[in-house]
Chain A
Amino acid sequence: MVVTRFQRVLPARHDAVLGTIDEALAFLAGCDLAPKVRDGVDLALEELLSNVSKYAYPAGEPGTIEVTIEGDSESVRLEVADRGIPFDPTAVPPPPPPSFCGPRGGRGLHLVRSVSRSLRYRRDGGRNVTTAEFSPR
């Protein structure tokens, strides 16, 4: 089954992120995807969009996020792009295991790497473009 394309450009704001995640989940629910692929896209979408809305643009500066989901029942590609400060999520080192007194947070990108087949980044004409691919295997 061919996965029809999902594409949105949204303001880099929390409320817009929540709305777009809802739309994307409705789109994914209509695709014939393996649960592992659907959940992986779900997790990565939430992590990448919320990171951009929190950190990509200086406070008070409006910005946008571009989201594309496309593929087929075997493989799905998620692309998230913004025009914010350069940030390469693939360069973030894996966090230490959780502990009772270690640093907090910072596990989201590690989880995205874990649930995706690949995670790539490029700086393209002033844009951060992050691409994650998912497959059942």
Chain B
Amino acid sequence: MKMDVREQGDANLWIRLEGRLDLKGVEEIQLGFTVKASRSEKPVVVDLREVTFVGSLGIALLIEAARKLHLRHSRLVLFGAKANIDELLRTAGVPEIAALVGTEDEARAAALAA
């Protein structure tokens, strides 16, 4: 699992994930993702376009980040999930605590609404 953090000087923190967000993938990025995503004062936008699989631990990682961001009055925005992953995230109830949108433009708009 690859993770690329971009602080582009705009109002958001952008995190691009690539690969499988499964048991092994979560272990590989958990510390870095948690430090970056959960402690951000800015909305965190996660690019899921290159994520090929999300398991239950991956969903737990995203939910936990959304909860911690909420404590900082910020928000987690997820975008670009493939259809099967989008369906799974919705089944898990992720949209209850994070924005789940299709495109980068929609992600910017959702982050602004935070």
Which residues does A use to contact B, with CB under 8 Å? 17-18, 21, 35-36, 39, 42-43, 46-47, 50, 97-101, 104-105, 107-108, 110-112, 114-115
Contact = CB atoms under 8 A, between A and B. Distances in A.
B57 A50 contact: yes
B8 interface: no
Contacts of B91: 111, 114-115
B97 interface: yes
A105 B60 contact: yes
B55 A46 contact: yes
A36 B56 contact: no
Contacts of B63: 98, 104, 107
Interface residues of B, number: 23
Given A18-B23, A46-B22, A107 B53 contact: no
Contact of B56 (A101, A104, A111): A111
B67 A115 contact: no
A111 B23 contact: no
B75 to A, nearest CB: 11
B88 interface: yes
24 contacts: A17-B23, A18-B23, A21-B23, A42-B22, A43-B55, A43-B88, A46-B22, A46-B23, A46-B55, A46-B57, A50-B23, A97-B96, A98-B63, A98-B66, A98-B96, A98-B97, A107-B59, A107-B92, A108-B56, A108-B57, A108-B60, A111-B91, A112-B56, A115-B88
B86 to A, nearest CB: 12
A101 B55 CA distance: 22
A100 B68 CA distance: 8
